[in-house]
Structure 1
């Protein structure tokens, strides 16, 4: 299941509710999958109840495909270019969210070290580009 997400008061991208660990969030202020530009998907790595929708995201390898079912019933097919882990304190907004000349996808979850007090120290980001629509 998918839910729309917005920017919060600090202009940070919201996340899906923690009590819905299988829910994926889409940034509704950006392009939809298959459109020119960078579509953004966000989900949890885990919650207090166990693994969540993007638990294995850090293990995705370049060349793998990501398929996204669009609202019009078609499927946008992306090919993974790279997977990077970025520290949250220096997160490269332009590199991750910046405009591109082609349809791209970023899939984002938490990563790095975890502390009950502060949460995860990093974010895992999958960078992919559109290779087909069917």
Structure 2
């Protein structure tokens, strides 16, 4: 995995406290929650709960449709790599500097294994659950490569 900021490697490794799902993602870069949440709305609530609890809604809105941060549920990705869960994970985990004169898409570092993370940081499993819930809210139409 590489940083969205500068393409440097993201030093995120499996740790003893990681769930089996987090360990699987770190070895395959496939989010095991994405297909599960797509089929099970009740399970997806865990991702929505984390999305709100961790403060994502403050920038991206309660339904991830954007506020001062971009929408996370349409087809207008700030970075093309966001059409994969791996790419979205890289941006959430390591943050980004944003684009253009207004730094649209600027985001803090969130993963607890990376230097300069926000607050206590988030573990791999929490980020994966948030991503999987976001995917269930997709309104962009067309292809959904994260379900392949």
TM-score, L = length of structure 1: 0.24
Between Structure 1 and Structure 2, which shows a larger proportion of helix residues?
Answer: 2
**Larger % of strand: which?**
1
Structure number with the bigger relative contact order (C-alpha 8 A, sep ≥ 6) is 2
